[in-house]
Amino acid sequence: MFSIGEFSRITGISIKALRLYHEKELLRPSFVQSRTGYRYYNERDVEMARVIVRLREFGFSLSEIQTILGQYTDDQEILDYLQARREAVDAELAALRNVTASLNAIIQNEQEARRLMKQADYEVEEKNIEPMLIAGVRMRGKYSDCGQGFSRIGKKLGRYICGKPLCLYYDGEYKEEDADFEACMPVRKHVETEGVAVRELTGGRCFSLLHRGPYDQLGRSYEKILKYVKERGLEIILPTREVYLKGPGMIFKGNPRNYRTEIQLLVR
């Protein structure tokens, strides 16, 4: 016979929990002194306690354990419970995997953004751009609706995205209302999906300027880079591109003053 303290040390179950199990008739001490109310446990209770610990590790609730203990004494007989439990655990696993995936995406994104913040110098720069595989949604209307395009790509091809979102502008000029543009995401893999076109975006010689600040100030940066290109007598190839290096976050909208957008003009 063990007192509750000894029994607690033996089984690793806290005294509080033991009293709770007693109250719920899950694990009844083999003897209770009626005068003092002291609980006493024996060897067989130890065995029962181990079973309970086992089942709790599997995530069964106390009431489920009560049912199981009340009716069955063999693993074989609780197969249904075990299978149900496994399914529930698998569902939890799937949900958690989604969570880590999202968290990882955000973390990676922001870490890249952080690196970017350090090295940028905000001057027009000439460089060569590699071709890349992109998924795009061609749209017509207001620029600010491009978010819908991105979210559609995210939903369909979220798993394959491998770079920063960008937007292609097919109009030679700024259009307020009826703009013709395409929301794009670099992807790893060519996947056929309706509503989203996957194709290779050409590379080439390019002038780029990093714009910092909110989108409604983009005009100034365009002015700067266009002047730069025009001075050199270069011919711009449409569509022009904007790469959203850092925009509204996945959680917060963030501070627009910290947004970073790269304007890319491909030239012949």
Partner DNA sequence: TCTGCGCCCTCCCCCAAGGGGAGACTCAAG
Partner DNA sequence: CTTGAGTCTCCCCTTGGGGGAGGGCGCAGA
- Residues in touch with DNA (CB under 7 A): 3-6, 8, 14-17, 19-20, 33, 35-39, 56, 61-63
Q: Which two tokens stand for residue 21?
A: 């199990």
As measured in angstroms, the least distance from the Cβ of 248 to DNA is 24
Cα dihedral sign for 58, 64, 70, 71? negative
Query: Which of 6, 25, 43, 47 lies at the binding interface for a second copy (CB under 8 A)?
Result: 47
**Type of residue found at 255:** N
Smallest CA-to-CA distance from 160 within 194, 191, 183 is with 191
Work out what residue 62 binds among a second copy, DNA, none; the CB cut-off runs from 5 to 8 Å by kind.
DNA
Is 253 an interacting residue with respect to a second copy (CB under 8 A)? yes
* Type of residue found at 257: R
Comparing CB distances to a second copy, the nearer of 92 and 223 is: 92
Q: Which residues contact 75 (CB under 8 A, 6 or more apart)?
A: 82
Which residue, chain included where needed, has tokens 């060569």?
128
Q: Which stretch binds a second copy (CB under 8 A): 47-55, 194-202, 209-217, 232-240?
A: 47-55
Complex with DNA: residue 26 or 167, whichever CB lies closer: 26
Partner whose footprint covers residue 113, from DNA, a second copy, none (CB < 5 to 8 Å by kind): a second copy
16 binds, among a second copy, DNA, none (CB under 5 to 8 A by kind): DNA
Per CB under 8 A, the segment of 105-113, 190-198, 220-228, 229-237 that binds a second copy is 105-113
**Closest separation in Å from C-beta 71 to a second copy:** 11
Closest approach of Cβ 7 to DNA, in Å?
Answer: 8
- For 173, phi and psi rounded to 5 degrees? -130, 175
61: partner contacted, choices a second copy, DNA, none (Cβ within 5-8 A by kind): DNA
Q: Which does 46 bind (CB under 5 to 8 A by kind): DNA, a second copy, none?
A: none
Binds a second copy by CB under 8 A, chosen from 34, 36, 71, 76: 76
What distance in Å separates the CA atoms of residue 200 and residue 147, rounded to the nearest whole number?
22
1 sits near a second copy (criterion: CB under 8 A):
no
Task: State the minimum distance, in angstroms, from the CB of residue 38 to DNA.
Answer: 4
User: Is residue 103 within the footprint of a second copy (CB under 8 A)?
Assistant: yes
Evaluate whether 246 touches 258 at the Cβ level (below 8 Å).
yes
Is residue 208 a contact partner of residue 125, using CB atoms and an 8 Å limit?
yes
Smallest CA-to-CA distance from 212 within 168, 251, 255, 181 is with 255
> Strands, E, within the chain: which ranges?
2-3, 31-32, 39-41, 125-129, 132-141, 166-169, 179-186, 197-201, 204-212, 236-246, 260-267
